[in-house]
Amino acid sequence: MKTPKRYLVPADFMADPSVHVWDGKIYIYPSHDWEPEDFVENDNGDHFNMKDYHVFSLNGDDPMTAEVIDHGKVLDVADIPWAGRQLWDCEVARKDGKYYMYFPLKDRNDIFRLGVAISDKPEGPFIPQPDPIKGSYSIDPAIYEEDGKYYMYFGGLWGGQLQRYKDNKALENAYLPEGKEDALPGRVVRLSEDMLGFAEDPRPVMILDEEGKPLTADNPYRFFEASWMHKYNGKYYLSYSTGDTHYLCYAIGDNPYGPFTYKGVIMTPVVGWTTHHSIVEFSGKWWLFHHDSVPSGGKTWLRSLKVCELKYNEDGTIQPIEGLDE
């Protein structure tokens, strides 16, 4: 049986949704796809042309039918002092009445850094800081808050440049593990009290198999990008994209740092190269926000936001969702 899904912004191409429930309302922070001016499709993602962010909110109790409100453009690459090119996915956290947008952006040396922009309202606009976060690298920031502490999960392979770093230092030559080598893990770091920096050195996010061994590089369910963290029945659920094998997967741990034990697939491959998601609870149900490339005719660089209900089994495992609707 197919899981009913809804396209949220059919008139424009939005992707990589970061979703939060604040004051009883869902807010969506996606990346914004544009048709490339100079098209070169490659593993570095040069065909993704993302140069601004919009914020959306849902007016209603059911994401499958709620009115979608576009609050307009809230940040543009032209506004960011240290900008080079390519604003990929973003994330927003709330603390003490302020909203902090975290975004990956290539600097003028074509190196991804993570920047911060601040607003007094969840719908923006967001004012960027003059410099990226010190010591930051790679892509796909996701924030999890617990007991007043904010944890950022980040990292992505290939175009996301994670393979260029080891122990938080840039490598002279990038290295991607192969075969039965341990897969390259994402990163987690606790944010500073002012939300503008790292309070510690980023740590690897280890995903283990049922025998307690790290997933290997040739495992189709190993981490690639798009970390997300949520908590369900006292357990920490790390979900992520497998990139070139095209799954959304999850692993479960006992604390925000992990390690996490691999548990299964959330969503099978969609139309398009990959997907990127958020999981939130709202109106007594759990929801999976994601994207695919059906409306653009399969163009992986022009993606569209979707939502569907996510369900759990009694043992806490997630019921897999078929990515294809036909």
**Which residue among 16, 33, 89, 140 is the active-site one?**
16
Which amino acid makes up residue 237? Y
DSSP 121-134: STT---EEPSSPPT
**Residue in 169, 151, 42 with CA at minimum distance from that of residue 102:** 151
Per-residue tokens: 72: 């307009």
- Integer Cα distance of 293 and 219 in angstroms: 25
Please confirm whether the linkage preceding 220 is cis (ω < 30° from 0): no
- CA 286 from centroid of its chain's CA atoms: 17
Asked if 112 and 138 touch (Cβ cutoff 8 Å), the reply is yes
- CA 24 from centroid of its chain's CA atoms: 22
Active site residue 43: no
Asked if 64 and 8 touch (Cβ cutoff 8 Å), the reply is no
- Integer Cα distance of 275 and 19 in angstroms: 15
**Which residue among 89, 91, 225, 292 is the active-site one?**
225
Per-residue tokens: 20: 């939060």
Active site residue 314: no
**Residue in 170, 157, 176 with CA at minimum distance from that of residue 227:** 157
Please confirm whether the linkage preceding 269 is cis (ω < 30° from 0): no
Asked if 254 and 235 touch (Cβ cutoff 8 Å), the reply is yes
Asked if 55 and 68 touch (Cβ cutoff 8 Å), the reply is no
- Would you please indicate which residues are annotated as catalytic (active-site) residues? 16, 225
